[in-house]
């Protein structure tokens, strides 16, 4: 018998809209997201808060998609960007992804950009900062 990896415990009833139980009941469903236990989520958030560069952020985006199926899109907003709030960070909807996790990932990335503004500058430059000039 092979030991199965631990999966995330269910949220309290009515506290979340993640759809964990229907995901487990669906045959052939992608359940990778359920391997993000609360301890692993804390490690992920800590890692996101301590980003050092745009390359590091892009690497983490790829790894989150490969290992958990989480899509994180980061791009400057349509209007001018004056603060970190002007950078749009969107976590894709996914069955099994907890509501709190969907909110904590963008918050952790913003905190990293506030600690290390070069990440935001590189992101703006990569997305054609001077496109309308």
Residues 6+ apart with CB under 8 A from 27: none
Q: Whole-model pTM? A: 0.84
Helix, coil or strand: residue 6: coil
Ranges assigned E (strand) in 23-93: 72-76, 87-91
CA 29 vs CA 67, 79, 81, 101, 132: distances in Å: 15, 38, 39, 20, 44
pLDDT in tens, 4-25: 678 888 877 777 778 888 888 8
pLDDT in tens, 64-112: 999 999 999 988 766 665 556 678 899 988 888 888 899 999 999 999 9
Contact 34, 24 (CB under 8 A): yes
């Amino acid at each position: 018998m092979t030991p199965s990896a631990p999966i995330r415990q269910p949220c309290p009833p009515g506290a979340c809209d993640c759809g964990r139980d229907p995901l487990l009941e669906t045959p052939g469903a992608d359940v990778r997201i359920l391997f993000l236990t609360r301890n692993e989520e804390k490690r992920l958030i800590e890692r996101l808060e301590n980003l050092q560069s745009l390359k590091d952020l892009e690497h983490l985006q790829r790894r989150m998609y490969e290992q958990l199926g989480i899509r994180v899109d980061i791009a400057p907003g349509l209007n001018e960007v004056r603060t970190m709030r002007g950078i749009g960070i969107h976590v894709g909807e996914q069955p099994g992804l907890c509501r709190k996790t969907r909110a904590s990932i963008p918050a952790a990335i913003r905190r990293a950009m506030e600690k290390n503004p070069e990440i935001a500058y590189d992101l703006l430059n990569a997305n054609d900062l001077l496109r309308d000039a």
